[in-house]
Amino acid sequence: MTDSDITEVALDLIAKGGGNISPELFNHLNRDFDPNNRDVAFDTEIFESALKGFFFHGANGYAFSDIKNVFSFFNMTFDELYPEATLPFIKFATSYWTLQFLVRPHNTKLEQRPRRTIAWELLSSVEFNVASLFFPTPGRHMINPKLRERDQRKILQELGVPIDIEEFITNNPILIRDRIRLKRARIKTLIWLFVFTCISIIILFKIVK
């Protein structure tokens, strides 16, 4: 995909989110990004329009790049990757992962990656914000799934995204797995606490005796 294509996708997101587009905006987005002037590169209104545009595309499962590249990377389809999910989440995941592969192509040489234009930085920022809330990187430190569910509901409702929120949340495989992980962690903690208490009682009993 060319730099102009990246810019066209950025313009599409802005327009989908209710923002105003123009030839001047196209030229602006197609410029090289200066990290020292991030606030000048794109203002809050442009970013919020692009983010809203993504959510509306995500509700329809719009693919920003070739979905086959995503399946090839994971070596499985979304039905296999997210067996707990229903259509609303699968559509949303399609838009998210194809956007990620658009801005950060996997298994490609550095010189083949998109130029870091203002449009690229805008799309990258949208991808990062969506990932933080909906597709967090697995790790030792997990945000409580209840808090993420609350925040997911809030943004979907506030933006008026045309998606079945209840079905999306109920069958969100990442939330489901995190709830299970949290439950197991709590059970493990209770077991260790029980063992520690028993050992303490035994030691105290022997001391007293």
Q: Tell me the average pLDDT of the chain.
A: 86
Report pTM: 0.83
Give the model's confidence band at 111: pLDDT under 50 very low, under 70 low, under 90 confident, else very high. very low
Report d(CA 171, CA 173) in Å as an integer: 6
Count of structural domains, the chain? 1
Task: Please check the confidence at residue 4 and state whether its pLDDT lies above 90.
Answer: no
Query: Which residues lie across from 125 on neighbouring strands?
Result: none
87-102 pLDDT, tens digit per residue, is 999 999 999 999 999 9
Give the model's confidence band at 39: pLDDT under 50 very low, under 70 low, under 90 confident, else very high. low
Task: Please check the confidence at residue 190 and state whether its pLDDT lies above 60.
Answer: no
- Tokens 């040489």 — which residue? 109
**DSSP H/E element including 185:** helix 173-208
Expressed as residue numbers, the domain containing 15 is: 3-208
Report d(CA 189, CA 74) in Å as an integer: 33
